[in-house]
Structure 1
Amino acid sequence: MDDRCELGQWLHSVGQNQYGSMSEFQEIMKLHHDFHRCVQEVVDIYIAEGAGVAKCELAGNFQKKSAMVQEQIVRFFDNI
């Protein structure tokens, strides 16, 4: 599921081939996967409990996971 967005496509192709051995890259892969899992959770919450509860999740865990991916990308760029 995490290989469908533009970042995921790059991570699973060029990124993996060129940087797959770097711990910073491996951490991006993990965090990116976790982010997509969180996205699915928000969708599931929306379906089960409605938009109000889903919006709360967007403002909480979703935003946190997104920020973690972004921060790790910056660390990765600092090390290549």
Structure 2
Amino acid sequence: MGFFSRLFKFREQDPASPETTWAVEENGSELVLDPEDAALLMTELDIDAAIASHERWNLRLQDMVSGRSQEVMRPERVCLDDRCDLGRWLYGTGRARLGSYPAFGMLVARHRYFHQQAAEVVAAYRAGDGRKAEVLLMGSCRHASNQVVLLLKELKRGLGR
């Protein structure tokens, strides 16, 4: 079992059980969901759309760095991690439902870091340093985006069983 798959686990639960619906098992970083709560979360966040959005961000940044785009991005806006659909969910409903779990905190932190790195790419490009922008994009920015996507896939896997 990989690192990320240990973070988001799904537990079958007897509906008559007096246990709470959210429970941390042996590993304090695991998010353990019962089927009813998992189904509700699936209606609140389209995980596939969130993943596709991050993949589009990488393409938009790549197009900018390579000169294939006329889109004007501003680092002071790109760095705001609460403006995209995923960010609004993370700071709203997601936080209300899952905010006490370390695995959720990791997703929030990785998402915030992605936006910071994307803003650094934009800032370097706008400052005329295309080489630095490309290095940042292919390094820390892509790595941060990949981590967000991996965490979202693990969350989806846990919710979708």
TM-score by length of structure 2 reads: 0.45
Provide the residue aligned with 2:104 in structure 1.
Answer: 25
Partners of 1:15 and 1:34 lie apart in 2 by 18
Cα deviation per residue 1:24-54 (whole Å; 9 max; x = unaligned)? 1110001011111101101111011344442
Is the CA contact (8 Å cut-off) linking 2:117 and 2:136 kept in structure 1?
Answer: no
Is the CA contact (8 Å cut-off) linking 1:38 and 1:62 kept in structure 2?
Answer: yes
Q: How many residues align?
A: 80
Pick aligned residue for 2:124 from 45, 48, 56: 45
State the 1:75 CA deviation. 2.9
State the 1:9 CA deviation. 0.6
Partners of 2:156 and 2:98 lie apart in 1 by 11
1:7-26 map, 5 Å? 7-26=86-105
Pick aligned residue for 2:144 from 42, 65, 71: 65
Task: Please identify which structure carries the higher strand content.
Answer: 2
Q: Using the TM superposition, name which of 46-55 and 5-14 deviates more.
A: 46-55
Higher Rg of the two aligned structures? 2
Cα RMSD between the aligned structures?
Answer: 1.6
Q: What letter matches 1:24 in structure 2?
A: A
Helix, strand or coil for the counterpart of 1:24? Answer: helix
Task: Please identify which structure carries the higher helix content.
Answer: 1
TM-score by length of structure 1 reads: 0.84
